[in-house]
């Protein structure tokens, strides 16, 4: 069973259908106990970060997700799902107890997710934020190139070093925190041409991958997306490895 975590994301049905394209058995849930029982977890994106975080706490989903990840079960984070993974990793692996996105808490001392205009200098070519909205021309939309690092799971999944994937977001990983995350074991496996983080993974985990882009937007019944295909295969392999242990228990 694949648990798609429902915390007010706007593209749940797209993710559900994309997983069905590659033979996934999907349940959409907000129940922490269902998440704990699932063979694999998807945290989708395109929603409100603040609502997401409040639901995560209110429904005790944070500990459930961490238990699933620690158990080695496959995890796929999409867009906001990648950002949630980074926030949780910062809090529980780096000791950044107040790690957050400025979308949710503008005053956080550890803004691991933020508008690019909040962490890059204007001299680096980033457009100035519109102070009337606090956002400016920061939305990334449509198909954009993603460069995949050599020796990464992402490169293995796609079988190429450059891909084009669809985007719909404006908050990014704050590159000022990159070395702290890298030295703790998180791998940044995909970047835009201008150095924005597109994919992360955990080399120490059997299958933990998250993307800033939306693979569900290009998955079709005839051509299931490689990221979903790899995820479902990993989940089946994990389940198959668990069955003999359960039988002998």
Count of helix runs (H) and strand runs (E) in the chain: 9, 12
Backbone φ, ψ for residue 171 (5° rounding): -90, 140
How far is the C-alpha of 195 from the C-alpha of 43, rounded, in Å? 24
CA distances from 209 to 50, 70, 189 (A): 23, 14, 9
Asked if 216 is an active-site residue, the reply is yes
Closest-CA residue to 106 (of 84, 134, 80)? 134
Interatomic CA distance for residues 146 and 137, integer angstroms: 20
Q: Active-site residue among 110, 167, 169, 214?
A: 214
As given in the structure block, the two tokens for residue 84 are 């949630």
Pick from 240, 213, 241: nearest CA to 225: 213
> Is 8 annotated as catalytic?
no
Question: For the stretch 157-178, what's the b/e string if a residue is b when 16 or more beta carbons lie within 10 angstroms of its beta carbon?
Answer: bbeeeebebebbbbbbbbbebe
Of 55, 79, 88, 201, the catalytic one is 79
Q: Is 55 a catalytic residue?
A: no
The residues carrying an active-site annotation are 79, 214, 216
């Amino acid at each position: 069973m694949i648990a798609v975590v429902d915390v007010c994301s706007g593209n749940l049905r797209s993710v559900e259908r994309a997983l069905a394209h590659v033979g996934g058995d999907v349940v959409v849930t907000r129940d922490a106990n269902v998440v704990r029982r699932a063979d694999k977890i998807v945290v989708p994106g395109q929603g409100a970060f603040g609502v997401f975080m409040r639901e995560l706490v209110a429904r005790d989903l944070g500990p459930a997700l961490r238990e699933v990840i620690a158990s080695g079960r496959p995890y796929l984070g999409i867009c906001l799902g990648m950002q949630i993974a980074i926030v949780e990793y910062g809090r529980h692996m780096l000791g950044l107890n107040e790690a957050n996105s400025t979308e949710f808490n503008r005053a956080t001392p550890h803004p691991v997710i933020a508008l690019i205009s909040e962490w890059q200098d204007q001299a680096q070519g980033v457009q100035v934020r519109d102070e009337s909205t606090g956002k400016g021309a920061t939305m990334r939309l449509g198909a954009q190139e993603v460069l995949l690092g050599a020796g990464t799971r992402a490169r293995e999944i796609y079988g190429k070093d450059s891909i084009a994937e669809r985007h719909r977001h404006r908050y990014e990983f704050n590159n000022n925190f990159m070395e702290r995350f890298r030295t703790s074991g998180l791998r940044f496996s995909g970047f835009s041409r201008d150095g924005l983080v597109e994919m992360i993974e955990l080399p120490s985990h059997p299958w933990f991958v998250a993307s800033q882009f939306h693979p569900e937007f290009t998955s079709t019944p005839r051509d299931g997306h490689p990221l979903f295909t790899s995820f479902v295969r990993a989940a089946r392999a994990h389940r198959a490895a668990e069955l003999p242990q359960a039988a002998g228990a």
